[in-house]
């Protein structure tokens, strides 16, 4: 028997990387994106709309920028989804909104699993990411083959929205690591130390983090070609601060990080890779 097709809505940086992994794993991928350029480079079965993807697939992956866009897409595909269908959402979004969407879809027998990804599009393409899952255990298990096709490890953290909350924790720490590395390399340069040597020392010592491996050379080369955009992380930091406010968590470092990212986006760097945070420590010096 032929395996049923797998749907994919959203073919941006992460979505296109997911498409490659799915096809390499043997899935027939039915995909759609509103950007015709992205559709031209998609090698799977191109569908004319998100509705057509959901109509042709019983499992559909969403790779979209925000929860608001997810809500819009879910409204578009509403008449196409059927009881028993599974929607696997990789979007980093608002946990409360995700929980509400999951509860609403479940009244129709549709399973909604938040499957947030820790890692850039380059790491997705290499299968070097982890996935944080929220949803019913049966639905999560039914997507195990999909998850294993692009992730080295996954964690089922609880009901719908649990994965989204953990993703905010991960992104808080990861974003601050990038900011600290950027500040450290800039500090080394100001002190007369070759930043490349400084990075080598940092990677060898107790200050090491994997961010140095994935982003260090890009910072040194001022390579701002996006693997994950600065504006996208600014959106995540806004979600982090909103979630912190709901729960009374203190996040002074994230508040400062937000100010740095916002200033860079205002200056026109939002579409650059998130290593552009280094600009906050190097540009507009007197």
Give the per-residue pLDDT at 3: 77
Closest CA to 42 of 60, 23, 27, 55: 23
Given a cut of 70, whether residue 1 has pLDDT beyond it is: no
Q: What is the pLDDT of residues 48-60, one digit of tens each?
A: 999 999 999 999 9
Domain residue ranges of the chain, discontinuous segments joined by +: 6-160, 166-282
Distance (Å) of CA 280 to CA 201, 208, 270, 276? 23, 22, 13, 8
pLDDT of 284 over the 70 cut: no
Q: Give the tokens for residue 227.
A: 């693997």
Q: Which residues contact 212 (CB under 8 A, 6 or more apart)?
A: 181, 199, 202, 203
pLDDT in tens, 24-39: 999 999 999 999 999 9
| CA 193 – CA 187 distance, rounded (Å) | 9
pLDDT attached to residue 282? 86
β-pair partners for 32 = 9
Q: At residue 29, what are phi and psi to the nearest 5 degrees? A: -100, 125
> Mean of the per-residue pLDDT values for the chain?
95
pTM: 0.91
Report how far Cα 122 is from the mean position of its chain's Cα atoms. Answer: 11
3-state helix, strand, coil in the chain (%, to 5): 55, 15, 30
CA distances from 175 to 5, 15, 62, 207, 229 (A): 35, 21, 23, 16, 12
Q: Which class does domain 166-282 fall in?
A: mainly alpha
285: pLDDT strictly greater than 80: no
CATH architecture type of domain 6-160: 3-Layer(aba) Sandwich (3.40)
């Amino acid at each position: 028997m032929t395996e049923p097709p797998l749907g994919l809505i959203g073919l941006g940086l992460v979505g296109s990387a997911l498409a490659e992994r799915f096809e390499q794993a043997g899935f027939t991928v039915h995909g759609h994106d509103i950007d015709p350029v992205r559709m031209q480079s998609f090698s799977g079965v191109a569908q004319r709309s998100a509705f057509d993807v959901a109509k042709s697939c019983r499992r559909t992956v969403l790779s979209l920028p925000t929860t608001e866009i997810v809500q819009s897409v879910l409204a578009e595909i509403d008449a196409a989804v059927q009881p028993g269908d599974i929607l696997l959402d990789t979007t980093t979004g608002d946990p409360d909104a995700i929980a509400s969407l999951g509860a609403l879809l479940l009244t129709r027998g549709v399973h909604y699993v938040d499957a947030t990804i820790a890692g850039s599009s380059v790491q997705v393409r290499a299968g070097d990411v982890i996935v944080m899952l929220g949803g019913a255990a049966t639905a999560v298990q039914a997507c195990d083959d999909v998850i294993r096709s692009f992730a080295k490890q996954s964690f089922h953290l609880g009901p719908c929205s649990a994965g989204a909350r953990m993703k905010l924790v991960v992104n808080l720490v990861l974003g601050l690591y990038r900011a600290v590395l950027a500040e450290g390399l800039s500090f080394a340069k100001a002190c007369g130390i070759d930043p490349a040597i400084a990075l080598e020392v940092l990677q060898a010592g107790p200050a090491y983090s994997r961010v140095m491996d994935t982003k260090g050379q890009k910072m040194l080369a001022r390579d701002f070609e996006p693997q994950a955009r600065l504006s996208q992380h600014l959106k995540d930091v806004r979600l982090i601060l909103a979630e912190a406010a709901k729960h009374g968590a203190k996040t002074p470092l994230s508040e400062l990080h937000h100010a740095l990212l916002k200033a860079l986006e205002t200056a026109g760097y939002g579409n650059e890779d998130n290593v552009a945070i280094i600009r906050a420590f190097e540009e507009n010096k007197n």
